[in-house]
Chain A
């Protein structure tokens, strides 16, 4: 019963994400128009058979821009969390495995990082180093790895005492090999769950940065950018406000439900 309920979230969330990923990968064929093709005669058209979700103020096809935007948003979400996982896992492994002063130093560093409002750090760094897609991925990752580090460390601490790890140590395996072959695979599942939740947050963060004018550079159609365009047309072109917002909402929701479902499953198994 419980298992089934958790599965439901996983299925819904996973289904939406898979569909989205397919759409993003197939964007060139899934889109009906060139996402950046300007056609002033077609500006601000409501949804129709020709433009499924309407057009923006330069006459660009919103549906096509959303489809291509999915690429950017997913890329930012997955990329940023990838970076965060990389840093967080490495530091968490080191802290948990070596313990002692390495552990205290790293964990104090995590504490210090957690004291800063992440969004403050993000804004400052983006404003300083500029807003390319790569930069934004990197910055969201660099400011968001602390949870992962704590999680991995806790896993490692509990795994360290388990027999198979003890056995590996007795057998004289090197630290690197134990971490890579034994600790990492076993610590990975909770990390993946939290990463799933993190992807949703990263997509939201990108849209927030866009809202403040510090997101991915236009005309790149990230979903955040599409929503910003919508700000100026509020009340004139409801479709420009509605669809990009819904796209973000559904995607982030899908990631959250998936992560939550996975977590439930993990907790029960």
Chain B
């Protein structure tokens, strides 16, 4: 396992280089002078911002030198200071990561919780009524503009029936409440965002699970199991599921960037201070420092997600560890 781990981590190095190179190219693709930034009519501020960008990226040096120095800083998680509020970019990102991560992990769990059973049951009787109904349902979620769904739910659940809070993460003045009340308050605030982000992602897992199950159920060993007279639930859950489940792990690893990207929209509408909002604000404020930091970090998070998925896969399926390169 250890050698596998080392091999996987080493495999990330070229990707890391690729990511930083691409980011670096983006900086230099900025139309005109990359240092023309700032949203302020105040020439003094734009001048200072320009100066800082020039300094940070060493824009007067030869390109390889610029790149080398920038990567060295990135490796230490130093992304410079935000042009909008002068705070270190890494600090700004660090304080936003927990929120976005929590919501995404929760919605991923919800997706698995709903998507796996839907896929399994649908696969048990392909093209049955349940299969059709759920196909339509998951595609409905996949086809729905996130913000539209969010607005409708906020209008109904939040305003009309007042079951759930509309936006934010925390009720007002709840800091001094006992932990169980705070927990309940948080859960109520998270309900809508988690649901909205999960509903859109349901299709991927459910459909994938279904097709995997359908494939597995046609394998010889399943036929054997059925022929032996094993009860159908045992066939489904003991024999088929284990094998069909494995590829799902990879899907989860790959879905990290999609979730991060999607967070821009629902964090804006639900007033949640996470990475997505930070990124959007930075783009709109031309805060190049923060934009670059976030692009790099989000790509890093994806790499991490893929690595974890690989490891989980290897853990679940010993053949991978021994055999060649997985994934």
Q: Answer whether A and B touch in the complex at a CB cut-off of 8 Å.
A: yes
Question: Known interface pairs A117-B257, A117-B258, A253-B140. Does A227 touch B145 (Cβ–Cβ under 8 Å)?
Answer: yes
| CB neighbours of B151 from chain A (8 A) | 231, 234, 241
What sequence of 0s and 1s flags, for each residue 12-32 of chain B, a beta carbon within 8 Å of any chain A beta carbon?
Answer: 001100110010001001110
Say yes or no: A253 contacts B139, CB within 8 Å: yes
CA distance A116 to B261 in the complex (A): 9
Question: Known interface pairs A231-B151, A256-B139. Does A1 touch B127 (Cβ–Cβ under 8 Å)?
Answer: yes
| CB neighbours of A109 from chain B (8 A) | 18
| CB neighbours of B302 from chain A (8 A) | 114-117
Say yes or no: B257 contacts A208, CB within 8 Å: no
Chain B residue at smallest Cβ distance from A118:
B261
B59 lies within 8 A of chain A by Cβ = no
Say yes or no: B295 contacts A120, CB within 8 Å: yes
| CB neighbours of A120 from chain B (8 A) | 260-261, 264, 279, 294-295, 298
Of the candidates A128, A256, A257, the one whose C-beta lies within 8 Å of that of B31 is: A128
Say yes or no: A208 contacts B145, CB within 8 Å: yes
For chain A residues 95-118, which have a beta carbon within 8 Å of chain B?
A: 108-109, 111-118
Say yes or no: A115 contacts B145, CB within 8 Å: no
Say yes or no: B148 contacts A116, CB within 8 Å: no
A123 lies within 8 A of chain B by Cβ = yes
Residues on A close to B: CB < 8 A?
A: 1-2, 5, 9, 108-109, 111-124, 127-129, 200, 204, 207-208, 211-212, 224, 227, 231, 234-235, 241, 245, 248-249, 252-253, 256-257, 260
Shortest beta-carbon distance from A251 to chain B in Å: 8
Chain B residue at smallest Cβ distance from A263:
B211
Question: Known interface pairs A116-B295, A120-B295. Does A2 touch B264 (Cβ–Cβ under 8 Å)?
Answer: no
Shortest beta-carbon distance from B240 to chain A in Å: 18
Chain A residue at smallest Cβ distance from B21:
A112
Residues on B close to A: CB < 8 A?
A: 14-15, 18-19, 22, 26, 29-31, 126-127, 132, 135, 139-140, 142-148, 151-152, 155, 159, 203, 207, 254, 257-258, 260-262, 264-265, 268, 279-280, 283-284, 286, 291, 294-295, 298-299, 302-303
Of the candidates B132, B145, B257, the one whose C-beta lies within 8 Å of that of A5 is: B132
Say yes or no: A112 contacts B18, CB within 8 Å: yes
Of the candidates B18, B147, B283, the one whose C-beta lies within 8 Å of that of A108 is: B18
CB < 8 Å A-B pair total: 128
Say yes or no: A245 contacts B145, CB within 8 Å: yes
Given contacts A115-B303, A211-B265, 15 further A-B contacts (CB under 8 A): A5-B127, A108-B14, A112-B22, A112-B299, A118-B257, A118-B258, A119-B260, A120-B260, A208-B145, A212-B264, A245-B145, A249-B143, A252-B142, A252-B143, A260-B135
Of the candidates A5, A114, A248, the one whose C-beta lies within 8 Å of that of B148 is: A248
Chain B residue at smallest Cβ distance from A254:
B143
Chain A residue at smallest Cβ distance from B294:
A120
Shortest beta-carbon distance from B119 to chain A in Å: 14
Say yes or no: B127 contacts A2, CB within 8 Å: yes
Shortest beta-carbon distance from A149 to chain B in Å: 15
CA distance A258 to B29 in the complex (A): 38
Shortest beta-carbon distance from A197 to chain B in Å: 9
Say yes or no: B148 contacts A245, CB within 8 Å: yes
| CB neighbours of A231 from chain B (8 A) | 151
Say yes or no: A208 contacts B265, CB within 8 Å: yes
| CB neighbours of B298 from chain A (8 A) | 116-117, 120
10 closest A-B pairs by CB: A119-B261, A117-B261, A112-B18, A252-B143, A253-B143, A115-B299, A117-B257, A117-B260, A5-B127, A245-B148
Chain B residue at smallest Cβ distance from A204:
B145
